[in-house]
Chain A
Amino acid sequence: MDAITRRRLVMLLPLGAAAAAGGGFWGLLMRMQEGSYDPHTLPSMLVGKPLPTFALPGLPPSAGFSNLDVIAPGRPALVNFFASWCIPCIEEAPTLMQLKNQGVPIWGIAYKDKPDATAAFLQQHGDPYVRVACDEPGRVAINFGLYGVPETYVVDPHGTVRLRWAGGLSDAIVHDKIAPLLKSAAQ
């Protein structure tokens, strides 16, 4: 290879690097459009791992529940963190009620909420939960890797977390992501 050709190849390197970068950006843009990439959401560390150990008190006079209670029935279930001060939680309430009507067990954990406020919230917007627990200090939530409310975790019959959805649930999200998982986990 003579000197001029070698020089030409070297001069093509910046273009090559730019093309690679452009391809990468395009790939990310496509993923953003289809929803598989979102720079602001965190992937959960719990996916594929067992439910963290916890035991929380309930809304008096009811009892709370522990991780064992969630696994005991041997069916796929949802664990939903919510709070009375959280607006998207109000927005997702109808979707949760619909899931409850379809027979999906939803275990609710009130995050950093006063029991009175939680009770009022449930009375006003409906109670889709099998049982409600109160995590006032918020430590159990940190063990889940929670970084905002609401968050919903899909747990399979063996107690392994399959999915974490951060943000409010909508019918579309349930249809696309949650329902298929619940079905496959039941088998």
Chain B
Amino acid sequence: MSRSATALAVLLALAGPAWAVSDPGEMLANPVLEQRAEAIGNQLRCLVCQNESVEQSDADLARDLRRIIRQRVVAGQSNQQIIAWMTARYGDFIRLRPPFEGRTLVLWGAPVIALAVGAGVVLLARRRRPDAPPPLSAAERQRLMQLLD
């Protein structure tokens, strides 16, 4: 990519986050529905700035997507349905929370796998370590005293 194009891309990308003030007229009257809409918006990535959620970004596309989310929330669609609608058009990339499927098993299982590996290493290390010798018996202790004298 040419230098100026890269610079422009960086500029545009950074211009996005700074314009993060949107139109108050967008918000739904019903606070419960508005909160649901915001929660959904926070789960989707803005595709223009790519490092903000749809809820935070002030890009035109993000504004459109926010409007669509609110329309569908009011129409009674469930969270899954709305996210599925978005994914059908933009792919899994738009989801900030990756889907839980075969391909992401390692991803979602990472905490458990990491803990298991850590615990396994520790257990292996302990087994390898020679145990402390058993305490001396009375006869052995007497012999020791004899040797030391």
Do A and B come into direct contact in the complex, CB within 8 Å? yes
Binding site for B on A (CB under 8 A): 3, 7, 10, 40, 42-45, 112, 137-139, 142-148
Interface window among B33-41, B61-69, B74-82, B95-103: B61-69
Binding site for A on B (CB under 8 A): 9, 47-48, 50, 60-61, 64-65, 68, 87-91, 93, 124, 128
Contact between chains at A147 and B48 (CB < 8 Å):
yes
Separation of A45 and B124 alpha carbons in the complex (Å): 47
| Shortest CB distance A45–B (Å) | 5
| Shortest CB distance A70–B (Å) | 19
Specify which chain B residues have a CB less than 8 angstroms from the CB of A43 in the assembled complex: 91, 93
Specify which chain A residues have a CB less than 8 angstroms from the CB of B128 in the assembled complex: 3, 7
Separation of A42 and B93 alpha carbons in the complex (Å): 8
Specify which chain A residues have a CB less than 8 angstroms from the CB of B61 in the assembled complex: 138, 142, 146-148
Specify which chain A residues have a CB less than 8 angstroms from the CB of B91 in the assembled complex: 42-45, 145
Contact between chains at A42 and B64 (CB < 8 Å):
no
Contact between chains at B89 and A142 (CB < 8 Å):
yes
Specify which chain B residues have a CB less than 8 angstroms from the CB of A139 in the assembled complex: 64, 68
A-B contact pairs, 18 of them (CB 8 A): A40-B9, A42-B47, A43-B91, A45-B87, A138-B60, A138-B61, A138-B64, A139-B64, A139-B68, A142-B61, A142-B68, A143-B89, A144-B89, A145-B89, A145-B91, A147-B48, A147-B90, A148-B61
Contact between chains at B65 and A142 (CB < 8 Å):
yes
Contact between chains at A142 and B48 (CB < 8 Å):
no
Say whether, besides A40-B9, A42-B90, A43-B91, A142 and B47 are in contact (CB < 8 Å).
no
Residue of B nearest to A148 (CB): B48
| Shortest CB distance A151–B (Å) | 12
Separation of A146 and B88 alpha carbons in the complex (Å): 12
Contact between chains at A145 and B90 (CB < 8 Å):
yes
- What are the 9 tightest A-B residue pairs by CB atom distance, in nearest-first order? A147-B47, A145-B89, A45-B91, A145-B90, A138-B64, A42-B93, A45-B89, A147-B61, A142-B64
Give the interface centre of A139, A142, A148 by most chain B CB atoms within 10 Å: A142
